[in-house]
Amino acid sequence: MNFLKRFRSSRNGEPQAVRMTWAKSSAGRAISRTGLFFKRQLWVWPILAVVLLSLLGLVVRWEIESTMRESLAAQLSTLADVETAMLETWVEVQRSNAESAANNREIRQLVYPLLEDTGTENGADAGSDLAAATAKLAKALGPMMSAHDYVGFFVVDRNKRIVAATHAEVIGQNNRSEYDAFLTKALNGAPNVSAPFRSRLLLKDESGELRTGLPTMFVCAPIRDESFQVVGAMALRMQPEEEFSRILSLGRFGNSGETYAFDKDGLLVSKSRFDDELVLLGLLPDDERSSSILTLQARDPGGDITRGFRPSERRRDLPLTHMAAEAIAGRPGVDVAGYRDYRGVPVVGAWRWVPDADIGLATEIDYDEAFRPLTILRRTFWGLFALLVASAGAIFVFTILVARLHRRAQKAEIAAEQIGQYKLEQKLGSGGMGVVYKGQHAMLRRPTAIKMLEPDKLTPASIERFEREVQVTSQLCHPNTVAIYDYGRTPQGVFYYAMEYLDGIDLQSLVERFGPLPAPRAIHILLQICGSLYEAHSLGLVHRDIKPANIMLNRRGGEPDVVKVLDFGLVKALDDKLQAGMTQQASLTGTPLYMSPEAIQLPSTVDARSDLYAVGAVGYFLLTGQAVFDAESVVDLCQKHVSAAPTPPSQRGGVAIPAALESAILACLEKSRAKRPQTARELALLIGRCAEATQWSVEEADAWWGTFERGQAHATTVALDVGRRPASAYAATVDRG
């Protein structure tokens, strides 16, 4: 109370020592001076623009680069995980195949005699028996080997002595070093797949020539006796160039991306996509049969060999690449900062170690290709920055010239007494915030309705709301929504926008003058309203003031009974937080006769279904000539909208109304939004199912409009009551506050 007294006394002429207005404060003076400085010193703007755009460009570039790196890391990791999972699945399938074959009853019956043979028998009979047993075993394994692309086999006993094999020359041998690792695991009861290695046996190459040293690999499984004890092992030979290499080749992307496998020594056990290039670089022998598989190690040469770098050490003395060292050490990872691959080329990549196959797997792509968009972005940024700096000087010169020309244009527009390109002809109406004129475009000569904000009523809130109205309406292009032609601000500071001029009649005037509409015509009108609202709702916009006075009926383009939905001044964007500043969250917006319960109780929660409630109320009015509820006060009216059940329209006025149409109207007027039609299109479909939906003909509409227009020709103004807005011209877009 003391504070209020002091405030009042200061306003009544008493000393104001304790008062300090914004204009008198030091902060206010500083900001005012700054604004004045920027207004007068126009040359500052180009420099400020250069600085701000440069900072913005740096921030944007950093954000894009960070996003690209994160995205690339995720892609590489995903690809590496997928390839690893595919390889592990393939290994599991091979182990299952081998274990199934090794423990097949028929196979075991053929193998047991071979495992029991001590190998001490002599003579041709023993040799022929062994050959016959091996042939039977090969025949029994044949279908399975053919189905799974196995190209050979051998069987060993507990001492790793080969007792049967596709290659007869190895029968009787034991402790072959290249077989030792996977045989030991199998004899210990664990089926496994070996890493690819060079064969010491004569094998056929791709051309059919027998050669040693060709890549080979085995899947090996234990053979068990009837008591489930391991008595031997069976190994099935595979060609790494087949499924194993095909799985890895699926990881290739771009022009330089590849996925390859390597063993614990860093030796590539799959083929590189760069074999031809590696021959030219001297990393592989210049031979038609040269291949990186089991030849090249993943070692870092210390520089880019593809660009002429040559290491000073022998390749076997070079360190493993960063990727290979990490993978072999059991540390899976991804690196998008860049490291050198086995060619010395900077790459980015991801890597994993696959214990089941005892190999590492890497997915890599050249750094230059991976970040090519970023390189282009950097060059573009610096190019634009240089252009911006060069343009600053020109902008500085032209700023003064443009300011002078602008002042001349202002004087010319004032002398012409027009709003922008529009010549004003007559005032159509006015409201709490704006005024509407009929006018014509200076060049097009098209009749236009021009809505303006009156200068003496300008406030930040009114400007914001006015701009929102035109911005929202201009987004809508439905033929049943009023069209916006133009928007601007005069040099004198008057905001305006131009829209199509409508010379029809609004639904309020239509019913008041001519009485309730027949059901077919009402359906025809309601369907068009639904079409307009469906577009607005699809854009997340709620009209909030649907009522008969905001819906015009016109003859447009030779078509009669064309509906135009007007006045989006109270429109609400469901996802626009700024709207809260234009219309207070707790304020009551709309017309009480057509407001939904939620618009009365919780205005901030209105949605598309709130508009559909109003559409139902409009339909009720069109059919009966009466509002849904009658009340003596606004409070009583609002209470009825919230809690009272509406009387069916067929029971008011003695008008016959189709049951399907009445049901649709009453569905819109449900208190719960969940029980109403959920979209305007759903409501249109509901109304369109009425048998009367197609009964309003063009001939009937043309006849009505002919009569109406003849009556209009004898009147200079069509108005129902003194002080009403004209019904013969569109002035409804004036905001009624």
Amino acid at residue number 116: E
Q: What pLDDT does 230 receive?
A: 94
Domains 103-238 and 503-712 belong to one CATH topology? no
Q: What pLDDT does 458 receive?
A: 62
Q: What pLDDT does 52 receive?
A: 82
Q: Are 203 and 300 in contact (CB under 8 A)?
A: no
Q: Compute the distance between CA of residue 140 and CA of residue 608 in angstroms, rounded to an integer.
A: 74
Domain regions of the chain by residue span = 44-64+381-416, 103-238, 503-712
Sequence-distant (≥ 6) Cβ neighbours of residue 473 within 8 angstroms:
481, 482, 484, 499, 568, 571
- Report the relative pairing of strands 152-157 and 434-441 from DSSP bridges: unpaired
Beta strands in 280-433 (DSSP E): 333-340, 346-354, 359-366, 422-430
φ and ψ at residue 332, rounded to 5 degrees: -65, 150
Q: What pLDDT does 534 receive?
A: 94
φ and ψ at residue 423, rounded to 5 degrees: -95, 125
B/e letters for 423-452, b = 16+ CB within 10 Å, e = fewer, are: beeeebbbbebbbbbbbbbeeeeeebbbbb
In a 10 Å sphere around its CB, with 0-12 CB exposed, 13-18 middle and 19+ buried, how is residue 243 labelled? middle
pLDDT averaged per 10 residues in sequence order, the chain, 737 residues? 39 40 46 48 66 80 86 92 92 94 90 76 59 86 91 93 90 87 93 92 83 91 92 93 85 88 92 90 86 91 93 92 94 94 95 90 92 81 78 70 56 52 79 75 83 69 76 85 84 77 90 92 94 91 89 90 82 48 44 89 89 94 92 89 91 84 93 94 93 89 87 55 42 39
Q: Compute the distance between CA of residue 258 and CA of residue 325 in angstroms, rounded to an integer.
A: 18
Q: What pLDDT does 564 receive?
A: 92
Three-class DSSP labels, 234-263: EEEEECCCCHHHHHHHCCCCCCCCEEEEEC
Q: Is the pTM of this model over 0.75?
A: no
Q: Compute the distance between CA of residue 393 and CA of residue 396 in angstroms, rounded to an integer.
A: 5
φ and ψ at residue 434, rounded to 5 degrees: -140, 175
Domain 103-238 has CATH 1.10.15.40: no
Question: Between the CA atoms of 354, 160, 131 and 237, what dihedral angle is there, to the nearest 10 degrees?
Answer: 10
What CATH superfamily is the domain 503-712?
Answer: Transferase(Phosphotransferase) domain 1 (1.10.510.10)
Q: What pLDDT does 726 receive?
A: 44
Residue linked to tokens 């790494």: 240
Q: Compute the distance between CA of residue 69 and CA of residue 67 in angstroms, rounded to an integer.
A: 5
Q: Are 74 and 81 in contact (CB under 8 A)?
A: no
